[in-house]
């Protein structure tokens, strides 16, 4: 858990471009943006992936979606639309083992994903 990059970002040990923070979550710009708007929203508690959500920590997901709604409105991508992505595990393409939701917008998104 100590070598988790996102826990280090939360603690300020690794710099990030923060766009929102409260006692439960942090939102910051992805270092390698895949769209004109690309930020990540993460819980401040270390949850490895969606596989590790349970009745004790599940409320954070509801809060994260509330924050996403607020931020997409502020960034003016709410009306035109955007994509929320959660990669889970090996086949899901998860590279950082700390639950995070990507928010991508500012361009037309393709489907199906690669
Ligand atoms: P995953 O592939 O696990 O769903 O997404 C991890 C994301 O975290 C990637 O889009 C990657 O660019 C981003 N990322 C990895 N390390 C850092 C970092 O140190 N700072 C920031 N801002 N983003 C990072
Ligand atoms: Zn972590």
What average pLDDT does range 29-34 have in this prediction?
Answer: 98
- Per the prediction, the chain carries an average pLDDT of 97
**CA 93 / ligand 1 centre spacing (Å):** 11
| pTM score of the predicted model | 0.98
What average pLDDT does range 74-82 have in this prediction?
Answer: 98
Per-residue pLDDT tens digits for 64-75:
999 999 999 999
**CA 1 / ligand 1 centre spacing (Å):** 16
For this structure, is 102 an active site residue? no
Q: Give the ligand whose atoms come closest to the C-alpha of residue 14.
A: 1
Contacts of 107 (CB under 8 A, 6+ apart): 35, 36
Q: Which of 46, 63, 98, 100 is catalytic?
A: 100
Q: Quick check: 1 pLDDT over 60?
A: no
pLDDT score at 77:
98
């Amino acid at each position: 858990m100590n070598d988790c990059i996102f826990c280090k970002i939360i603690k300020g040990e690794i710099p990030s471009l923060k766009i929102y923070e409260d006692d439960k979550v942090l939102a910051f710009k992805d270092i390698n943006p895949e769209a004109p708007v690309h930020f990540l929203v993460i819980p401040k508690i270390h949850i490895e992936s969606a596989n590790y959500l349970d009745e004790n920590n599940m409320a954070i997901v509801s809060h994260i979606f509330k924050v996403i709604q607020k931020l997409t409105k502020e960034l003016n991508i709410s009306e035109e639309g955007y994509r929320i992505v959660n990669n889970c595990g090996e086949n899901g393409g998860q590279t950082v083992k700390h639950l995070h939701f990507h928010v991508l917008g500012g361009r037309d998104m393709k489907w199906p994903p690669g």
